[in-house]
């Protein structure tokens, strides 16, 4: 049977990358812009050849007279772009760009109906997610084959798929592009099963002084950047116990890290590469497909993921237990579940939903009346309870009656309720 492929697209304002992964592979493989090389960066640029309806992306677009940059943010803002006196929606141009990037993956037998497509962006807000899902749908890729996630999530999935010693303590990712450094700190809580993982984002404005626009010679600039970065490392690392550091971005290009390199490597392992996020997106795709098969080894806590287990209290083997209707730790887009229950006879029947924080703490209870439902000792009433997350904090609960065997017919009753949750009080690790 042909394998499913997980495509990870790291989509950013300046450069994008694409990788693929299959269950039989040891790790994801990034697709090069030029076969046989390790050139993975595709400038996030489109361009139209003057006078004819011929469009290009990436390096080819940069060679044209009027390359169009910033299409990602412009698409998110629903802007219009004028090209040769003709108006285009920015979402159209972003759709064109993504379509041509996916064409680069045709050599690995991309199947729009079978494969999964995971897009990594800086921050996966609801508006940005909806924009990208609509674009993918316009490319004949169904929404249930597409997931949008943040850089924090992709760093988590990448790091947690490396050898365990790299995340024994904290793991740090430094993302340095266009003279701006972003810092991601990964922490694990191994006291909980499955392990809970959180990634925090920090920024250090002092690194703006590393700009290449300073009036210095090349050697002076290298020494200056090294000194500024070394000082920033003192703030970043401090007294942290760090197992590993990952360096990503063109800001680390060039032979300028002399003193700072020694500081970085003292007592920890350091890695440099450009394709961490695109590979992390591939690992995330594999987790999406496997999520219902067995209990995960770890749960990412943050971003668009659920921070509560949404449960029903059921009687099982002589005791009442909380059984998850929706499990915590997964992206809310994938958070849904159904359970059939038999209602205990009661004069005023109701159903209670228990919301249990992923990090422990007080369980929230929500009791909903089942108006119009009459229950007696002589009648067995069966219900189906369906839960679907509309956002990490908003849960829609649908309940309907079911027939019981061939004797008792369906009563034809249904109810719908909404639960609004705040963030877990014990969100920190």
**pLDDT by residue for the chain (429 residues), tens digit each?**
578 999 999 999 999 999 999 989 999 999 998 877 788 999 999 999 998 989 999 999 999 989 999 999 999 999 999 999 999 999 999 999 999 999 998 888 899 999 999 999 998 888 999 999 999 999 999 998 999 999 999 999 999 999 999 999 999 999 998 878 899 999 998 887 778 899 998 866 555 555 555 677 888 888 888 988 898 888 888 888 999 999 999 889 888 999 999 999 998 999 999 999 999 999 999 887 765 555 667 888 876 788 899 999 887 777 888 999 998 877 787 789 999 988 877 667 889 999 998 777 889 999 999 998 877 666 678 899 999 999 888 999 999 998 876 566 777 899 999 999 875 444 445
Contact criterion met (CB below 8 Å) for 222 and 230: no
Q: Domain check: are 146 and 12 in the same one?
A: yes
Compute the CA torsion angle 223, 224, 229, 234 (nearest 10 deg): 90
Q: Domain check: are 41 and 177 in the same one?
A: no
**Is residue 1 in some structural domain?**
no
Q: Domain check: are 31 and 137 in the same one?
A: yes
Of 119, 150, 181, the position where a domain reaches its end is 150
Q: Domain check: are 135 and 81 in the same one?
A: yes
Backbone angles phi, psi at 147, to 5 degrees: -130, 140
Q: Domain check: are 322 and 225 in the same one?
A: no
**Is residue 289 in some structural domain?**
no
Whole-prediction pTM value?
Answer: 0.83
Of 277, 300, 325, the position where a domain reaches its end is 277
Q: Domain check: are 74 and 92 in the same one?
A: yes
The whole-number pLDDT of residue 426 equals 42
Buried b (16+ CB within 10 A) or exposed e, 135-158: bbeeeebeeebbbbbbbbbbbbbb
**Is residue 427 in some structural domain?**
no
Taking the C-alpha atoms of residue 337 and residue 125, their distance in angstroms, rounded to an integer, is 24
Total domains present in the chain: 3
Domain that holds residue 178: 155-277
**Is residue 301 in some structural domain?**
no
**Is residue 285 in some structural domain?**
no
The CATH number assigned to the domain holding 408 equals 2.60.34.10
Q: Domain check: are 243 and 117 in the same one?
A: no
Q: Domain check: are 241 and 159 in the same one?
A: yes
Q: How far is CA 76 from CA 15, 57, 90, 147, in A?
A: 16, 19, 8, 17
């Amino acid at each position: 049977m042909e394998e499913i492929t997980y495509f990870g697209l790291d989509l950013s304002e300046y450069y994008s990358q694409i990788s693929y992964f299959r269950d039989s592979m040891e790790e994801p493989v990034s697709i090069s812009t030029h076969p046989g090389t390790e050139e993975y960066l595709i400038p996030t640029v489109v361009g139209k050849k003057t006078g004819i309806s011929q469009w290009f992306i990436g390096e080819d677009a940069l060679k044209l007279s009027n390359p169009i940059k910033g299409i990602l943010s412009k698409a998110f803002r629903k802007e219009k772009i004028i090209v040769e006196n003709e108006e285009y929606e920015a979402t159209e141009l972003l759709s064109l760009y993504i379509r041509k990037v996916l064409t680069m993956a045709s050599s690995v037998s991309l199947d729009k109906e079978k494969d999964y497509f995971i897009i990594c962006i800086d921050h996966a807000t609801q508006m940005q997610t909806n924009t990208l899902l609509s674009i993918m749908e316009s490319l004949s890729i169904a929404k249930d084959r597409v997931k949008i996630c943040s850089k924090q999530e992709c760093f988590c999935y990448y790091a947690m798929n490396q050898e365990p010693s790299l995340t024994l303590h904290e793991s740090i990712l430094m993302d340095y592009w266009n003279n701006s450094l972003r810092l991601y700190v990964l922490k694990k809580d191994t006291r909980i099963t499955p392990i809970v993982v959180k990634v925090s984002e920090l920024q250090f404005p002092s690194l703006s002084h590393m700009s290449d626009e300073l009036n210095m010679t090349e050697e002076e600039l290298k020494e200056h950047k090294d000194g500024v970065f070394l000082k920033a490392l003192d703030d970043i690392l401090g007294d942290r116990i760090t197992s590993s550091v990952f360096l990503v971005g063109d800001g680390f290009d060039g032979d300028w890290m002399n003193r700072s390199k020694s500081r970085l490597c003292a007592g920890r392992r350091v890695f440099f590469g450009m394709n961490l996020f695109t590979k992390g997106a591939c690992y995330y795709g594999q987790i999406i497909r496997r999520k219902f098969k067995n209990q995960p080894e770890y749960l990412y806590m943050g971003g668009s993921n659920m921070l509560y287990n949404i449960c029903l209290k059921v009687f099982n083997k002589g005791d009442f237990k909380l059984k998850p209707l929706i499990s915590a730790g997964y992206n809310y887009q994938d958070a849904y579940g159904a359970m059939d229950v038999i209602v205990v006879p009661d004069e005023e029947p109701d159903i209670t939903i228990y919301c249990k924080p992923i990090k422990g703490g007080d369980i929230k209870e929500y009791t909903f009346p089942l108006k119009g439902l009459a229950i007696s000792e002589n009648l067995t009433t069966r219900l189906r309870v369906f839960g679907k997350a509309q956002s990490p904090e908003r849960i829609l609960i649908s309940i309907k009656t079911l027939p019981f065997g061939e004797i008792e017919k369906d009563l034809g009753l249904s109810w719908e309720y909404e639960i609004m949750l705040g963030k877990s009080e014990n969100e920190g690790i």
